[in-house]
Amino acid sequence: MAKDSDYGAFMEKFVLQPSPSAHELPLSGLTFAVKDLYDVDGYVTGFGNPDWARTHPAATSTAPAVLSVLRAGATCIGKTIMDEMAYSIAGENIHYGTPRNPCAPDRIPGGSSSGSAVAVAAKLVDFALGDDTGGSVRVPASYCGILGFRPSHDVVSTTGVIPMAQSFDSMGWFARDPVILNRVGRVLMQLPDVDPVNPSQIIIAEDCFQLSAIPSDRLTEPLLKSVNKLFGGDLVKHAILGDYVKEKVPSLKQFMTEETADQENNIPSLVALSSARQLLQRYEFKKNHGEWVSTVKPDLGPGISETIWKAVRTTDENVDVCHSVRTELHAALNALLGVSMPLGLYDNLPVAISLLAKHGSDGILLNLVESLYKNIQEEVGIAEKKVVCQNSSNTRQ
């Protein structure tokens, strides 16, 4: 594990002061950190690997997303550790150390935006910037017990951010406080302050939750009780997501196999969807970085090395089908943004739930999180107390 002074979250520390202003700015007084794939003028963007840092010059400009929050009054205090070349969601880095998860110190922090998540969870900063290709904000947010937001694809500029796979890449951010999460989002997406809009419906993916070993009273019930309290229970619907995806995304048949269909504890259409996404991600990663990897042959950690070389050796077979899958899925769900919300602890480990929304509904989702958060935490507290009381009763018996 990385050094403990800052939970091993930082690659390097420096201070970027906000732009001076005579007016009160929306992020005044807040501090933040950035994942080490965002360009900062004068600093090498390290991409989680020392060979990458060694073979690339310092940036000559700062990524627009970083400039946006600086201009809104926030102060940057450094760059955070990440998984090598962003190609993992574990949060480990053999070269720079693995940031220590403040919420579960004996567990990994999740990645690839590990340092950013840890910096927020450890209260070292008020918010942090990461990026999310296949869960790299939402996963570490859930592992570290904080909020993590992935906005609609292409809504926030990724200029000055090292790409991984452009079909899926999106910047994202972390916060402990839903008000700060909302405020940062409105700056990054240039959204006006508007009154919250009640959701028209909330759909529970029943088959997905059935796979969880965590009981429903600690998973879906806090959300449902909060929704009922704030908006009434009539807008809650239940759906079988796997069946819906199988029907609406016919190109997935190319990725459906007897092996996945026969496996227990999975949803075949979603396993096929994951296979298609991984193939397209490998292909785009190769287009972006294959030449560099093949030429430099960087020192890569175990697991990461196999994953990256597999991507470099991939071909364009079935890539057209992957694009068809993505197009059909977008038409069917139109859900390309999401947020991870903490639900306290279960068996002393963090629990989280993800909310998704239609593309372009970022402001609505941010407001919904802010509205729901306090009630959800209250319901989680009630559920946790019930468990403690039951355990005490069982012990006395």
Active-site amino acid positions: 35, 112, 136
Q: How far apart are CA 189 and CA 186, in angstroms?
A: 5
Helices 268-296 & 241-248 angle (0-180, nearest 10): 70
d(CA 84, CA 313): 18
| 3-state secondary structure (DSSP) of residue 189 | coil
Residue 91 to residue 100: CA distance in whole angstroms: 9
Asked whether 150 and 177 are in contact (CB, 8 A), the reply is no
Q: Which residues does residue 13 pair with via DSSP β-bridges, in sequence order?
A: 78
Give the HSE-up count for residue 242: Cα atoms under 13 Å, Cβ half-sphere.
18
Distance CA 81, CA 98 (A): 8
Report which residue type is found at 191. Answer: L
The 3-state DSSP class for residue 86 equals: helix
Distance (Å, rounded) from C-alpha 62 to C-alpha 173?
A: 17
CA 390 to chain centre: 34
Q: Where on the phi/psi map is residue 214: left (φ > 0), alpha (ψ -120 to 50), or beta?
A: beta
Residue 388, classified by CB atoms within 10 Å of its CB into exposed (0-12), middle (13-18) or buried (19+), is exposed
Between CA 216 and CA 130 the distance in angstroms is: 30
